[in-house]
Structure 1
């Protein structure tokens, strides 16, 4: 006589190895740890108003970092993004404030100028085959000079409502959210889908992993790379509009360190500076890490120079982790 035995069940456990292998996992954990730490340090940190302020502070640099991510995924880099954005703000602000063009057309002109800068960067990288570092370093100086020449060193005020509309807020529960913050999140979601679910996205990663292999598989790498730089410039133009909407002015001194902040967000978000590895949602997390650290340290009364020091240390740590992980993967 035999007795029935219950079937042996294997406990279902999360696939932590797959989770930790994802490039966004580390930045996400770091963001959560930072939030918990600052919440214990200051009761105001997790308030709706303060978190909304963090997102507002992040939306401009985060949008810049989105365009920067596309370029870094191809193993390039863009040092000119902040200066290009600043020039875009001056173009749209001056044309609209002086009545030269209708506000919406002025916005389009500012975004178009930024896209043109991206196109020129891409042409020099793809056709002339100049290193992206050199091209965008030179373009940084060009955009910086044009910003001050065109603005005549003057801050432009009296912005039409069309240029400041994205800075307006709407209530969400007990918190006021800016329309610009929503636009930033939508942009990240759109490009996250494009990179993960479309042929264009797969080709972008292939280009970053190995341009020669990508070319041999039939990918038109020249056209692809040119389009990526132009798209990044277009995104910088949107960042310019977000900057005007948040500040309400066209400031020729804006964006002078935003290129470094954008690269910082990309690196902290888990995107490899060597190309082919990363995710735009990780960049959003990276931008939030920068925003959370600066906001939290400010609430603790830490000076701005120490905030910069800590941010620099985080970048070095992130690049070190990326190097170690690449070496392990190549073994």
Structure 2
């Protein structure tokens, strides 16, 4: 009888394993729902319109970074420089516009160009010099941060000195008493667009294939170097969009902003079900992961938990997410 029960339990676990492998966003969605319920019970302020608005605003920047981080991690890479690219791009947009009187749209496009070139540099170092993405982006993290401090002179550019377009992402509209920023809407549009591209285009399929097995993809005729180069360049462009959101979020451009956003974006991607080993995951999961981190930090703060333990809770989430990923990957064996 005991053997039958054990066999049934193993069969159930195997089915769960297969479901989670096929639908990477199910687990994070369940965690997000459970977190919202728990924190709503712990604090009556959690589901108030003002607090929901605050969570959405906090998630907008990291969530946008996570979109770019997702496509990099899908190729079994990682980008530690994403936060530095974002801040450098925000400074270029704001400072150039403030000092030269450049209109908002050209300043924005200049920032998008700078972000794309920064990502392209990462991609060239990874594909041409065959360096590990971790080492490449660790190095460029410091390069871009130094350039940021040099170009900005460590000075913040005030919102009053910038064109209104650069501040547009911080403007809000009200839905049911909840103030929603245009930066949050931009994030949703970006996630939807990237999800469509990854699922329905040859480029998207090549991204997954390259991350799943680089050598097999190359032998099958996929130009893996070109795919990787395009991924890093696209990620750089997305980080520039995050820079636009950041400017609107803080109504200024600060060289000290987003100090830990690179790690937060990786956290969101991992918690969202994207495998650090590449080839499995979804950009929608990364958005859910960013929401989980935002909900956890906000909910624990409302519950009066010290910041130290809030950080610890996020760390535990990461370890659990990676452990779950390792277990799910065994389904392929």
Per-residue displacement from partner, 1:257-286 (whole Å, max 9, x unpaired)? 110000000000000000000000000000
Structure 2: stretches of 5+ with no match in the other structure = 1-14
How far apart are residue 38 of structure 1 and its match? 0.1
Would you say the 8 A contact 2:83–2:261 is kept in 1?
Answer: yes
Does residue 279 of structure 2 align to residue 304 of structure 1? Answer: no
- Structure number with greater Rg is 1
**C-alpha displacement at 1:330, in angstroms?**
3.8
CA-CA distance at 1:80 after TM superposition = 0.3
Q: Secondary structure at the match of 1:205?
A: helix
Shift of 1:124: 0.7
Structure 1 residue runs of 5 or longer lacking an equivalent are: 1-14
Q: What corresponds to 2:30 in structure 1?
A: 29
Q: Which residue in the other structure is 1:282 paired with?
A: 285
2:114 corresponds to: 113
Normalising by structure 1, we get a TM-score of 0.93
Deviation, 1:177, is 1.2
Contact 2:206/2:222, CA 8 A, preserved across alignment: yes
In structure 1, the residue matched to 2:213 is 210
SS at the partner of 1:145?
Answer: helix
1:20-169 map, 5 Å: 20-21=20-21, 22-157=23-158, 158=160, 159-169=162-172
Partners of 1:20 and 1:153 lie apart in 2 by: 46
- After superposition, what is the alpha-carbon deviation per residue over 1:82-133, rounded to whole angstroms, capped at 9, x for unaligned? 0111101111110112234222211111121111010010011011111101
Cα distance in 2 for residues equivalent to 1:68 and 1:16: 27
Query: 1:66 and 1:183 mapped to 2: Cα distance?
Result: 12
Higher helix share: 2
What are the superposed Cα offsets for residues 270-322 of structure 1, whole Å, 9 maximum, x if unpaired?
00000000000000000000000011011111122221111111101111111
Q: Confirm or deny: 8 A CA contact 2:199 2:205 kept in the other structure.
A: yes
Normalising by structure 2, we get a TM-score of 0.92
**Alpha carbons of structure 1 residues 267 and 250: separation in structure 2 relative to 1, 3 Å:** same
Instruction: Please give the secondary structure, in 1, of the residue aligned with 2:76.
Output: coil
> Of the candidates 273, 276, 280, which is equivalent to residue 273 of structure 1?
276
CA contact (8 A) 1:64 1:262 kept: yes
Q: Retained in 2: the 8 A contact 1:111–1:240?
A: no
The count of residues paired between Structure 1 and Structure 2 equals 316
Contact 2:17 2:331 in 1 (8 A): no
- The worse-fitting range, judged by mean Cα deviation, of 19-28 and 32-41 is 19-28
State the Cα distance separating 1:16 from its structure 2 match: 7.1
Cα distance in 1 for partners of 2:58, 2:69 equals 18
| Residue 244 in structure 1 maps to residue 247 in structure 2 | yes
Distance 1:303 1:143 in 2: 33
RMSD across aligned C-alpha pairs, in angstroms? Answer: 1.4
Q: What is the match of residue 331 of structure 2?
A: 329
**Structure 2 residue corresponding to 1:313, chosen from 313, 316, 322:** 316
Task: Provide the rounded CA distance (Å) in 2 between the counterparts of 1:47 and 1:198.
Answer: 40
Q: Distance in 2 between matches of 1:54 and 1:19?
A: 30
The answer to whether residue 200 in structure 2 is matched with residue 197 in structure 1 is yes
SS at match of 2:252: coil
Equivalent residues of 2:18, 2:328 under 8 A apart: no
- Verify the 8 A CA contact 2:45 2:51 in the aligned structure 1: yes
- Structure 1's 136 and 123: CA in aligned 2 closer, same or farther, altered over 3 A? same
CA distance in structure 2 between the partners assigned to 1:322 and 1:298 by the alignment:
28
In 1, the alpha carbon distance for the partners of 2:178 and 2:79 equals 35
Shift of 1:172: 1.6
